[in-house]
């Protein structure tokens, strides 16, 4: 038995009904482009060695997007993929030739689109799974089940189908009197009897390439739309006496295809509902699921509570007993320990250790590492910095390009001045353990505040502060006795003189 597996994803169509200058497959749901969702589901399939993405309409933008996303490189060597954990950029997929884009120009239909990959597959003996770039809700599990079903039944061709109350616009699966698949007929070509069929073509196929690929030389444009239909390979396979099967999808939401902005919103809603339902099944509380958006890539630990108004995009891992929201925007690559609270804040690319609290109204971004029992409070921005355990940065501060030790207290309004706008250079601030910084201080980087040092409120620190010392960098206070009384007397005598002179 040959388990070798390749995929073709069709993404060359125009997507006219989106009314957009952006190619349809690059529109996003839950923070990820449609084609990216399809590719990512496909990448997790066992034994998959290669993916061909067929591009056509605005192929340059689609190819550029894929190059950026998957760091595709050209060069020699066999197709491979690997997942890199950790490192500066976090989790990242690196592909050497695993994903190829293939140009379809002009776009003459779905059959013509698959045929563009023919040259790459000439000597291939195995299964090819074909999918559309505009059906982003298909899960890896469903695809895996579909492939297993196909391979176990020893079929030459298996079509994924679903039962729809309203099958309008989809291709219909026509079966014979023994319930065997006979052909697929498109909406525009269907007679009135065929139009009543509720079993629709999901547009996903498993093809035994060696047996079925000759069909692509025999496709015609003899149909209502004048296109080379991929669906015609079904009729071809049946007529050749090859085993042709159907796989009826249980959750028919999964094959929901995007053709308009309304579809886009609806798919996002489906995806969100499925994600939140699954998280609730795993022990997460959502106060108002319909007002909360969570990407399917996000994991949330048991007994965590998500308040309304949260948008949680990207890949995130929250611990147990966390409280997020209300009104919090998580942009991705956020990881937390247990018992973390994030209130009314924006967080991206950050690690937050156990028992720490963030917000209200805090902003963490660009690789922030917060250890345990830390408090980041009202109107505090932290950028590209580390903050060690039991440190407080509670009010109105900016901490950028800094490393802050443990048990530090940063007073309200403290700013690290990390940027020189003339040289455009950024410098680091180092604040060691047990340091106490008085309110409204400015630390002009590069600068080091050593262990247990104190800084007086209102100081502008430009030089290293030695350990256990107090730095005061402001003018000394002087009090002028009876100044107010004297001033009032002066004003009064001045106004008398003025009155006399008029």
Name the site residues for ligand UD1 (rule: CB under 6 A).
Answer: 10-13, 54, 56, 104, 107-110, 112-113, 132-134, 170-171, 184, 186, 200-203, 229-231, 257
Toward ligand UD1, which CB reaches closer, 113 or 408?
113
Q: Which does 212 bind (CB under 5 to 8 A by kind): ligand UD1, Ca ion, none?
A: none
DSSP per-residue string spanning 76-112: SS--EEEEE-SSTT-SEEEEESSEEEEE-SS---HHH
Question: To the nearest whole angstrom, how small is the minimum distance from the Cβ of residue 69 to Ca ion?
Answer: 22
Toward ligand UD1, which CB reaches closer, 47 or 225?
225
Question: To the nearest whole angstrom, how small is the minimum distance from the Cβ of residue 392 to ligand UD1?
Answer: 52
Query: Rounded to an integer, what is the distance from CA 16 to the centroid of its chain?
Result: 25
Toward ligand UD1, which CB reaches closer, 170 or 398?
170
CB atoms within 10 A of CB 58: 19
Question: To the nearest whole angstrom, how small is the minimum distance from the Cβ of residue 231 to ligand UD1?
Answer: 5
Q: What are residue 89's phi and psi, to 5 degrees?
A: -95, 10
Q: Which does 413 bind (CB under 5 to 8 A by kind): Ca ion, ligand UD1, none?
A: none
Toward ligand UD1, which CB reaches closer, 159 or 393?
159
Question: To the nearest whole angstrom, how small is the minimum distance from the Cβ of residue 170 to Ca ion?
Answer: 9
395 catalytic residue (yes or no): yes
257 in contact with Ca ion (CB under 5 A): yes
Question: To the nearest whole angstrom, how small is the minimum distance from the Cβ of residue 105 to Ca ion?
Answer: 20
Closest chain position to ligand UD1 (CB): 171
**Tokens read off for 16:** 């006219």
Q: What are residue 369's phi and psi, to 5 degrees?
A: -125, 115
Question: To the nearest whole angstrom, how small is the minimum distance from the Cβ of residue 202 to ligand UD1?
Answer: 6
Is the bond leading into 251 cis (omega within 30 degrees of zero)? no
DSSP per-residue string spanning 199-229: EEEEEEEEEEHHHHGGGGGT----STT-S--
CA atoms in the 13 A half-sphere facing the CB of 290: 1
What are the C-alpha distances in Å from 201 to residues 9, 124, 185, 322, 348? 16, 26, 9, 43, 40
The strand pairing partners of 87, in sequence order, are: none
**Tokens read off for 249:** 């999808």
**Cβ contact 205:160 at 8 Å:** yes
CA angle 413, 416, 419 (to 5 degrees): 135
Toward Ca ion, which CB reaches closer, 14 or 80?
14
Question: To the nearest whole angstrom, how small is the minimum distance from the Cβ of residue 263 to Ca ion?
Answer: 9
CA angle 20, 270, 173 (to 5 degrees): 85
How does 227-251 read in b/e, with b if 16+ C-beta sit within 10 Å?
bbbbbbbbbbbbeeeebbbbbebee
Q: Which does 170 bind (CB under 5 to 8 A by kind): Ca ion, ligand UD1, none?
A: ligand UD1
Taking contact as CB under 5 A, which single stretch among the options 38-46, 211-219, 257-265, 434-442 is the one that binds Ca ion? 257-265
Query: Rounded to an integer, what is the distance from CA 215 to the centroid of its chain?
Result: 38
260 in contact with Ca ion (CB under 5 A): no
Toward Ca ion, which CB reaches closer, 136 or 319?
136
Q: Which of 27, 57, 112, 395 is catalytic?
A: 395
**Tokens read off for 491:** 């004003």
Q: Which does 137 bind (CB under 5 to 8 A by kind): ligand UD1, Ca ion, none?
A: none
Toward ligand UD1, which CB reaches closer, 233 or 376?
233
126 in contact with Ca ion (CB under 5 A): no
Name the residues that contact Ca ion, by CB under 5 A.
257
> Which residue numbers are catalytic?
395
């Amino acid at each position: 038995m040959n388990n070798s597996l390749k995929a073709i994803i069709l993404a060359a169509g125009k997507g006219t009904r989106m009314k957009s200058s952006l190619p349809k497959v690059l529109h996003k749901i839950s923070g990820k482009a449609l084609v990216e969702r399809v590719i990512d589901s496909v990448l997790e399939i066992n034994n998959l060695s290669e993916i061909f993405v067929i591009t056509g309409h605005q192929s340059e933008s689609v190819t550029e997007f894929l190059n950026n996303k998957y760091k595709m490189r050209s060069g020699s060597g066999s197709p491979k993929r690997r997942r890199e954990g950790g490192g500066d950029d976090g989790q990242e997929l690196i592909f050497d030739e695993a994903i190829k884009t293939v140009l379809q120009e002009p776009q003459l239909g779905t059959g013509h689109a698959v045929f563009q990959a023919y040259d790459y597959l000439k000597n291939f003996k195995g299964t090819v799974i074909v999918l559309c770039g505009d059906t982003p809700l298909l899960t890896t599990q469903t695809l895996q089940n579909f492939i297993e079903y196909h391979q176990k039944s020893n079929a030459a061709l298996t079509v994924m189908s679903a039962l729809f109350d309203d099958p309008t616009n989809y291709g219909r699966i026509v079966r014979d009197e023994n319930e065997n698949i006979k052909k697929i007929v498109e909406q525009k070509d269907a007679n009135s009897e065929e139009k009543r069929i509720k079993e629709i073509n999901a547009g996903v196929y498993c093809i035994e390439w060696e047996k079925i690929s000759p069909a692509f030389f025999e496709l015609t444009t003899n149909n209502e739309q004048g296109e080379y239909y991929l669906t015609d390979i079904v009729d071809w396979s049946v007529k050749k006496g090859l085993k042709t099967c159907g796989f009826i999808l249980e959750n028919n939401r999964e094959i929901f295809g995007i053709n308009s902005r309304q579809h886009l919103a609806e798919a996002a809603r489906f995806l969100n509902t499925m994600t939140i339902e699954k998280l609730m099944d795993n022990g997460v509380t959502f106060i108002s699921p319909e007002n909360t958006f969570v990407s399917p890539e996000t994991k949330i630990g048991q007994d965590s509570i998500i308040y309304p108004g949260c948008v949680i995009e990207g890949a995130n891992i929250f611990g147990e007993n966390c409280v997020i929201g209300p009104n919090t925007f998580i942009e991705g690559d956020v990881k937390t320990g247990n018992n973390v609270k994030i209130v009314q804040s924006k967080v991206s690319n950050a690690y937050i250790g156990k028992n720490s609290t963030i917000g209200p109204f805090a902003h963490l971004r660009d690789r922030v590492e917060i250890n345990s029992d830390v408090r980041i409070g009202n109107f505090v921005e932290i950028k590209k910095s580390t903050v060690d355990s039991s440190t407080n940065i509670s009010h109105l501060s900016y901490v950028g390009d800094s490393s802050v030790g443990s048990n530090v207290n940063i007073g309200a309004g403290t700013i690290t001045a990390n940027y020189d706008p003339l040289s455009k250079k950024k410098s680091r601030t180092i604040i060691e353990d047990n340091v106490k910084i008085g309110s409204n201080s400015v630390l002009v980087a590069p600068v080091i505040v050593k262990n247990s040092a104190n800084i007086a409120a209102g100081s502008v620190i430009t030089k290293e502060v030695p350990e256990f010392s107090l730095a005061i960098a402001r003018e000394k206070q002087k009090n002028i006795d009876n100044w107010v009384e004297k001033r009032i007397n002066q004003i009064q005598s001045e106004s008398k003189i003025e009155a006399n002179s008029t």
